[in-house]
Chain A
């Protein structure tokens, strides 16, 4: 039984259509069908968060979503947040505050952090730590990741105030 289905996804504002087996995991559809390789496969068991994307406004682990479930969804990956020429505030902040070492966890970490700041623009350090608890980093010890996210939050808030 390898019936393929038509899948429609909007990823980072672009519509895609392709054939896939329903059991294909969203992370593999993104990486292997659409060549969107920002989200990483760390554990494949729903534990590390390296595969985190935003799907219909929720932070999800794309290794734990069948592509069939995602059919019709809007997905944002790290590629949709910023570009090398125009980094997202969080990307700039991670760079500035040394919020990464090997970088493997970073796409998931930043995609999650973006959603966290959208829901809670003024988090405490504790709220940041709790909010990224689904993302594991083996390198940094989290200290600089938390610093990066807090700094991005104040920058975003300052920009918002200036705009008012």
Chain B
């Protein structure tokens, strides 16, 4: 399990990163925590002749909450997400989800930026970011731009990010109401068989607004507007939850793999979403 040889760089500013990305094009990649990239390089599924480490760049990590807007630097680790009091207060769904990712050692290294930029349908953060309607902030040779998480994922490992762009941060408006991240996995440290991110707000005993996204049930995360619409205006009763699950099942497209056949995944998707809705509602 030895990866192919590479040149290693640890630039100390973003201009240096972008210059290297421009110089080496397809042959270069950035490394954050390395806990998706290194396993791929060991398996020689990723060939990276020029590896650019982001650890020397100042200002890429940290969590701030200002005027109701949450900003998480790309190099912020999953561990830092879990221990942040500010984040627990502003967007508790982040901690609930991060605790279900991998295991302690992986969470000390794995970053939020790496998790969302990777493009693996198994990653938990992309669906969560779609649920929260987050923006991804990219910087590249042509300057900075922001892309909605809901527009970012094209196919497995294919995203809106250009090869020469680096993700610097994610931002989102602090959500209101109840939340839940529910994940079915075979064991701790496993990717989801199915997972659901749900935010629900309540007014006068009825669902005022909802947002629902599903993980590892298609080649991209699935933000299901139809599922959320099925809840809005209802008292989140059994019929409404059933309607939301049915709507969600119309949006996902799981494939068979070692986590089970399609019918099982659809079953698991329905169960996790049902549980997530009820938990989010109970907290709304």
Contact = CB atoms under 8 A, between A and B. Distances in A.
Interface of A: 1-3, 5, 21-23, 25, 44-47, 49, 52, 58-61, 64-66, 68-69, 71, 112, 116, 130-134
25 contacts: A1-B7, A22-B8, A23-B5, A23-B41, A25-B2, A44-B1, A44-B42, A45-B39, A46-B39, A46-B106, A47-B189, A58-B105, A60-B108, A61-B105, A64-B38, A64-B39, A65-B34, A65-B38, A66-B34, A66-B51, A68-B10, A68-B51, A71-B10, A131-B104, A134-B106
A134 B105 contact: yes
B230 to A, nearest CB: 35
A123 to B, nearest CB: 12
Nearest to B103: A134
Given A59-B108, A65-B34, A133-B189, 5 more contacts: A3-B7, A58-B108, A60-B105, A65-B38, A134-B106
Given A59-B104, A69-B55, A133-B103, A64 B35 contact: yes
Contact of B5 (A21, A45, A46, A116): A21
Contacts of B34: 64-66, 69
Contacts of B31: 69
A89 to B, nearest CB: 20
B6 A133 contact: no
Contact of A112 (B53, B104, B188): B104
Contacts of B35: 46, 64
A13 B5 CA distance: 30
B79 interface: yes
B3 interface: yes
Interface string B1-43: 1111111101000000000000000000001001100110110
B108 A68 contact: no
Contacts of B7: 1, 3, 22
A23 B3 contact: yes
A105 to B, nearest CB: 13
B271 interface: no
Contacts of B109: 58, 60, 64-65
A131 B132 CA distance: 28
Contacts of A5: 8
Q: Of residues B6, B105, B109, which shows the largest number of chain A Cβ atoms within 10 Å of its Cβ?
A: B105
